[in-house]
Structure 1
Amino acid sequence: MSTYPDSLPPPAADVDRWPGLRALSVRQAGVVSREQLRQVGLTWGDLEAQLAARRWSEYGPLTVLLRNCEPTRLQLRHAAALHVGDKGCLAAATALEVHGLQGFCDDDQIHVLTPRASTVPPLPGLVVHESRRLRPEHIVMRAGLPVTGLERSVIDRGAWQRRPRFVYALLAASVQQRLTTADRLLAELRTVGQVRHVAHMRLAVHDIVGGSQALSEIDLVRFCRKHRLQPPEQQAIRRDARGKKRYLDAEWRLLDGSVLVLEVDGAHHIAVAYWTEDMKRGRQLFKPGRYVLRCGAHELRLQPAELAADLELAGVPRLIPRLVTARPSYDLASQ
């Protein structure tokens, strides 16, 4: 990956020898295809002369950099778009860079999406993904680059990850940064079919919109029995200050007489204002002999063993196996 910034120096003066090449260079960050050079009047000999003089440099079999230097990240994106041509577009993490998502585009590679069975020549750092459901309406232009729409880009980025935990943070960030909405993500999820982590993605969106759906699927009694812990004495869904069903409270009376409260938060990556609200509630719940632990709904789905270990460490008793006694048998024939 290039360490150079995306800002570029102005095009070299030699591009003015061919009408239209300067404008093309500015529009495409100093990256052009060999076919575009031919269209503005360059001959094969002209190109070879520029390359031999080291004014320009080749990048792959189809594209040329109009300067002899390490390509920037922006130039790599343009080179990839020119390389796949009309067959595909930038996708997933690379498309999200263009859309402006912050914090989830640290992938050094350039990802492109093409229709199934397309042939794309090799290019350094290029990762080609194929799709049976890539249609023209899925491709939009952003900053002069063809990319998948934001919702499709988010879902592809999540589906191409191995761990579902990444999905929750990714979808929440896309909504929190106001690039999309939960409704638009849900609408896109209805069209994707059985891609990897699709069930986790749907749950993540429900977490984002308030948590009621996420909480409805949580059964702490079943969770405790599975991990050999005493089930809670009571549990109830509670609303937040906005009136949305968001929390699931459960209580255990411990062996020393104290009470342990587990507060399950159905929302994910909440805003600072609501985090402050939660801290205030934590203070209100505190009483001598009453302790509060908090977790997210996604932890119960993704890290149940770790949560069970924390509850046991906090004093939740182990579940005592029920003893089964044999019933006395009667021999009716002998009576």
Structure 2
Amino acid sequence: MVPDDAAGALEWLAFEQAGVLTSAQARTVLTDGTVRGLVRSGRWRSISRGLLLAGNGRLTRDQQLWVAVLVAGAGAVLAGATAAAEAGVRGLRPEPLHVLVPAARRPGRTTLRRLPIDMAAVVLHRTSVLPAAHLQVGRPPRTTTARALVDAAGWASSPRVAQEMLAAGCQQRRVSPQELAAVLEVLPRAPRRRLIRQTVDDIAGGAQALSEIDFVRLCRRAGLPRPDLQQRRTDAAGRTRWLDAYWREWGVHAEIDGAHHMDVRQWAADMRRQNDVWTAGDRILRFPAWLVRAHPEQVADTVRRALLAAGWRPNPGDTETLDNSG
């Protein structure tokens, strides 16, 4: 007979782990025969070798996260885009599930291939650098948002996706550029380290939307002076306005329009803000985000002409060749 306190402990553990248990955990209270009987009767479900579900339904998202961590073994934590999504960063791909394990461990890939069909794919990553400061207290265990986004950027399918992830985390106020930079400092061999560092620096300078990050990089490569980003300004009616990019010395202002600027109400607000800038004597330029990405040379030429007209003079040799390779 199972003591009440032991049974209660197992019940609480199953609750904490969304019903997912290792065989070893179950057998601290139940006999092998009892466990087999629960599975044969359909009350419990065998998920994979050594992993059980204290129930018989399809795996929920929370249960899949626990399966991913438990199947990877001791020291495993949710990581990358998976951990960032759990921290509340929106717009990230829900699958596959990314798990980080200590470099000294080599989890068996056979177990991963035998996961059930209602389970998302699990991708294992190994690391030799995972300090306690990079771990988030939570269930299931995961890395901090900053470490998650740095890893996600390094594992992303393209540099563009890597930048989008970093920008999303900062724009949504889930992480700060300073936190990302601190993580990067202790990861000297992080994939795409240079790109991540540059992107974080751009975000720290105020470019919180990816189109603004593109714009700052465009200016740098074209030999144009760096604008101030997200500058606060009070309009004629006393309302606070935010300028995407502003060269205060020459009175030139550039707006980077995303998809939300197509909304009728947003369009009207944009017009009012644009009129306020014009009547104050500044020059204003408007660029759709896609143009900044697809034809940076056109945008750079327009900005250059506006700055020259306003009195700016370039330093010889500052200009790099622009293309649209991203």
What is the distance in 2 between the residues matched to 1:310 and 1:238? 17
Q: How does 1:279-290 map to 2 (within 5 A)?
A: 280-284=272-276
Q: Aligned residue for 2:83?
A: 95
Aligned length: 267
The alpha-carbon distance between structure 1 residues 293 and 126, as it changes in their structure 2 partners (threshold 3 A), is same
Cα displacement (A) at 1:281: 4.8
Cα displacement (A) at 1:242: 5.8
Q: How does 1:1-335 map to 2 (within 5 A)?
A: 18-40=7-29, 42-104=30-92, 106-121=93-108, 122-123=111-112, 124=115, 125-142=121-138, 144-211=139-206, 219=219, 223=222, 237=227, 240-241=231-232, 247=245, 263=254, 280-284=272-276, 292-294=285-287, 303=293, 306-308=295-297
* SS of corresponding position for 2:254: strand
The alpha-carbon distance between structure 1 residues 279 and 196, as it changes in their structure 2 partners (threshold 3 A), is farther
Contact persistence 2:83–2:143 (CA under 8 A): yes
The alpha-carbon distance between structure 1 residues 237 and 161, as it changes in their structure 2 partners (threshold 3 A), is closer
What is the distance in 2 between the residues matched to 1:198 and 1:277? 39
Deviations 1:143-170 (A, max 9, x none): x221111110011111101222223332
The alpha-carbon distance between structure 1 residues 21 and 275, as it changes in their structure 2 partners (threshold 3 A), is farther
* SS of corresponding position for 1:48: helix
* SS of corresponding position for 1:59: strand
Deviations 1:223-270 (A, max 9, x none): 39xxxxxxxxx9784572269996266xxxxxxxxxxx89376xxx9x
Cα displacement (A) at 1:286: 6.1
Cα displacement (A) at 1:25: 1.7
What are structure 1's unaligned runs of at least 5 residues? Answer: 1-14, 225-233, 250-260, 317-335
Deviations 1:160-188 (A, max 9, x none): 01222223332232223332222111211
- Higher mean alpha-carbon deviation, 151-160 vs 179-188, is at 179-188
| Aligned-partner residue type, residue 181 of structure 1 | S
Contact persistence 1:140–1:148 (CA under 8 A): yes
* SS of corresponding position for 1:114: strand
Q: Aligned residue for 1:230?
A: none
Contact persistence 2:274–2:284 (CA under 8 A): no
* SS of corresponding position for 1:20: helix
* SS of corresponding position for 2:74: helix
The alpha-carbon distance between structure 1 residues 17 and 46, as it changes in their structure 2 partners (threshold 3 A), is farther
Cα displacement (A) at 1:35: 0.6
What is the distance in 1 between the residues matched to 2:89 and 2:173? 9
* SS of corresponding position for 1:169: helix
Cα displacement (A) at 1:194: 3.8
Cα displacement (A) at 1:55: 1.3
What is the distance in 1 between the residues matched to 2:228 and 2:88? 36
Identity of aligned residues (%): 27
Deviations 1:6-41 (A, max 9, x none): xxxxxxxxx99944332222111111111111112x
* SS of corresponding position for 1:108: coil
What is the distance in 2 between the residues matched to 1:79 and 1:132? 23
Give the TM-score, by structure 1 length: 0.64
Give the TM-score, by structure 2 length: 0.66
What is the distance in 2 between the residues matched to 1:235 and 1:182? 22
Cα displacement (A) at 1:190: 1.7
Cα displacement (A) at 1:93: 1.8
What is the distance in 2 between the residues matched to 1:284 and 1:310? 23
